[in-house]
Structure 1
Amino acid sequence: MEFAFSDEQDMIRESAESFLADVSDSAAVRAAMASELGHDPALWQRLCGEMGWSAIHIPEAHGGLGLGFVELAILLEQMGRRLLCSPFFATACLATPALLLGGSEAQRSRWLPPIAEGSLTAALAFSAGRGWDATTLGATARAEGEGFVLNGELAQVVDGHGAGLLIVAARAPGSSGLDGISLFAVAADSPGIGRWLTPTLDQTRKLAHIELNNLYVPVEALLGPAGQAGALLQRVLQLACVALAAEQTGGAQQVLDLSVAYMQERQQFGRPIASFQALKHRAADMMLQVECARSAAYYAACVAQEALDPAGDPAVAAELPLAAALAKAECGEAFFHCAAESIQLHGGVGFTWEYDPHLYFKRARAGEAFLGAPSWHRERIAAALLDAPQAGEQP
């Protein structure tokens, strides 16, 4: 597995870094935070039309660029550096994989082209708010006539308040575990859907609460066979963990850069505080955390690419559950550690509104818990390793 970027990937990274430095500075982030939508629609159109980012890993047959998950991770790392406020994560990293992996050709032809051109945003709604496992669903789906009736409440839906398309996970009454789970692609303005914003710590990423009240959906909305989407939802959440890990890596890098720049400017006892050995050690520890996070994120992105590619290596794709859990745990903790250190290294101004470290701190804390806390992912890794056959044992 090759970890060095190609010339094309380097070009994607450089263009993303330069573009986002201009359009997602501190003032732009704060303006988006204060808006009800949570992002600037004009900037979203530039991201999609001018840069083509919403199309990056959508197949060319459906209006996309046909690139891979590594290229997606490169964009997400730069978005994380600049705290980009946009529906990109919800659309490209939560909803689009569900369509790519579970949608029929007709469904992909209907939904992917408008996503690729930026005229449609999407969100994944599944959690009841009691956990992040694929089995903790908040909605039920009861067969009725030629379709299904959905009821329930779905919490912590990223950018769900403004999305045009909802990928809704629901289970058959009486089912449990991964059995009986179905995914539905539903227009967000369908009768029976209520949506409102949820107040959160991290104002740079909007979360919504969604209520389904006797929502009728036709059988054509099903992604795959009814009651058999549990494994699909699990795979989508694993891919989302990898995407979030790449974003967190970018955030960790940026708070390190902000801290070093501040320490070089701040004078104490007649010299920059960056010259103090104790602070150098703390910055070096932050850099180590960032590099470990980056390694974990891009290894997982390479595995995710094999899992998404119909012609991918099945042996590598089988590593996705562990790679995603490792990346989410490592990158979440690295980002939070670096954000907390950045506040300390900025001294008394670190948590004031005028300086940016507190924005990263809040994103880091919220992201650390989103899609599962590091301890939860480590439990999954431990369980998988302990259950795996040991040398000399029969599988």
Structure 2
Amino acid sequence: MTQERIALRDTVRLLLSRASDVRTAMESELGYDPALWKRLCSDIGVAALAIPERFGGLGAGIAETAVVLGELGRTLTPAPLLGSILAAQALLACGDDDACARLLPEIAGGRIATLVWSDAQGTWGHPPCVANGQRVTGQAHYVLDGDIADTVLVFALAGPEIGLFEVREGAPGLVRTSTRTLDPTRRLTTVAVDSPALRLGGDLTSALPRIRDLACVALSAEQSGAAAHCLNETVAYSKERVQFGRPIGSFQALKHRMADLHVLVETAQATAEAAAEADESALPVLAAAAKVHCAEAFQTVAAEMVQLHGGIAITWEHDAHLYFKRAHGSALLFGSVSNHLALLTSSRRGGTR
């Protein structure tokens, strides 16, 4: 963590501590707090961090964006950042400077964008949509903020190629349906499209793995931040909860359990940071490793948070169940742990992805 990233982290953390109301946001019609999102974008520039300056961004990178996502994960703040990051990276990969100059400054300013990509099985490989000329047809699932996005970008098969297509807001044949999910703090949408669309750039077949790698890097930062918060809350509670005349945190068995959780959180944060700093050659392996380890660490720490908080943790009023649900929901996003373990195994054997 450089001094600049520490300052960014502290600024985001201060704003979220003052303005983030998770339950009100997740229960609202939009699923997030527009006023808070506006402040995150205008005051801090969170949506502009990974966008080059020539396209209206701040010219930082994924590592800086990961710092912000870690803080959003720590508080479970619903915010349309992850989907917008993916859409922006797809635009940058398409090589269409005119499209980038038109769309990226708006995304940097806070316009919500989404990337339509995954099929019904949650496979982030070949897209389920098909392009026939300037028309895209198909149905994608688990689309981040797909029901509220102003800019809708679609990966679609175009003959032997995979193209990126822009479907205009309000286009005929564009149907966006909110999906009820385990995690109430993350909006996912089923997007059906049978609409005219504008192709942006050329063939993105070779770019898809990198975009998914960046998605995994971003998600692992969010997971590691949430896991760290779960541990901190659990340690604090163990110092307050008294059983048999003494704080439960003083019992050796619980000390051992929390020491193990500490190791998990520290290694998860280190793995997420390494993936965010990776160069192009190391990115595939480190992104998959971060996805696997941060998902498993978050699930473990969230489960222990529930166990060590006792009965209070299974009430709706306590936030433990929200972290538990986020842990299991995010573990499946951008591919399951087993899927990424297979990618790691293939990489070790010298195979292709």
**Same topology, TM > 0.5:** yes
- Matches for 1:1-395 after TM superposition, within 5 Å: 5-24=1-20, 28-92=21-85, 94-118=86-110, 120-135=111-126, 137-143=127-133, 148-172=134-158, 179-213=160-194, 215-217=195-197, 221-225=198-202, 228-303=203-278, 316-387=279-350
- Secondary structure of 1:387's match? coil
Deviation of residue 234 (structure 1)?
2.1
CA contact (8 A) 2:122 2:333 kept: no
Over the aligned positions, Cα root-mean-square deviation in angstroms equals 1.4
Between the aligned partners of 1:89 and 1:125, the Cα distance in structure 2 is 13
* Identity level (%): 43
Shift of 1:43: 1.1
DSSP-derived class of the 2:331 partner: helix
Deviations 1:84-136 (A, max 9, x none): 101111112x1111112224111111001111111x1100111121232322x
Give SS of 2:166's match: strand
- The answer for unaligned runs of 5 or more in structure 2 is none
User: What does the per-residue CA deviation read over 1:343-364, in whole Å, with 9 as the maximum and x for residues that have no partner?
Assistant: 0000111121111111000000
Q: C-alpha separation between the residues in 2 aligned to 1:236 and 1:41?
A: 27
Q: What amino acid sits opposite 1:278 in the alignment?
A: A
TM-score (norm 2): 0.96
- Bigger radius of gyration among the two: 1
1:367 Cα deviation after fit:
0.3
- Assess, with a 3 A threshold, how the Cα gap between structure 1 residues 294 and 33 changes in structure 2: closer, same or farther: same
| TM-score of the aligned structures, taking structure 1 as reference length | 0.86
Over residues 263-318 of structure 1, what are the superposed CA-to-partner deviations in whole Å (9 max), with x where a residue is unaligned? 11111111111111111111111110011111111111011xxxxxxxxxxxx312
User: Secondary structure at the residue paired with 1:182?
Assistant: strand
Q: Which amino acid aligns with 1:222?
A: R
SS, match of residue 349 in structure 2 = helix
Asked if the contact 1:138–1:153 (Cα under 8 Å) also holds between the matched residues in 2, the reply is yes
Partner of 1:310: none
**CA distance in 2 between partners of 1:112 and 1:259 (Å):** 41
Residue in structure 2 matched with residue 306 of structure 1 by the alignment: none
Shift of 1:223: 2.9
3-state secondary structure, aligned to 1:317 = coil
- Alpha-carbon distance between aligned partners in 1 of 2:205 and 2:61, rounded to the nearest angstrom: 24
Q: Which amino acid aligns with 2:196?
A: Y
The Cα of 1:388 is off from its aligned counterpart by 5.5
Shift of 1:250: 0.3
Distance of 1:46 and 1:193 partners within structure 2: 30
For residues 188 and 62 of structure 2, the distance between their equivalents in structure 1, rounded to whole angstroms, comes to 24
* Distance in structure 2 (CA, Å) of the matches to 1:258 and 1:288: 16
**Against the structure 1 CA distance between its residues 238 and 374, is the aligned structure 2 distance closer, same or farther, given a 3 Å change threshold?**
same
SS in structure 2 at match of 1:346: helix
Question: Counterpart amino acid of 2:260?
Answer: D
In 2: Cα distance, 1:189 partner to 1:260 partner: 49
Q: Structure 1: which 5+ residue stretches go unaligned?
A: 304-315, 390-395
8 A Cα contact 1:164 1:189, kept in partner? no
Give the length in aligned residue pairs: 352
Give the 3-state SS of the residue equivalent to 1:167 in structure 2: strand
Contact conserved, 1:77 with 1:251, CA < 8 A, in 2?
yes
Alpha-carbon distance, 1:19 to partner: 1.6
SS across alignment from 2:50: coil
Distance 1:23 1:280 in 2: 34
Aligned-residue offset at 1:205: 0.4
Output the amino acid matched with 1:290.
V
Distance, in Å, in 1 between the alignment partners of 2:210 and 2:166 is 17
* C-alpha contact (below 8 Å) 1:134/1:230 kept by paired residues: no
Distance 1:133 1:68 in 2: 23
Is the contact between residue 58 and residue 67 of structure 1 (CA under 8 Å) also seen in structure 2?
A: yes
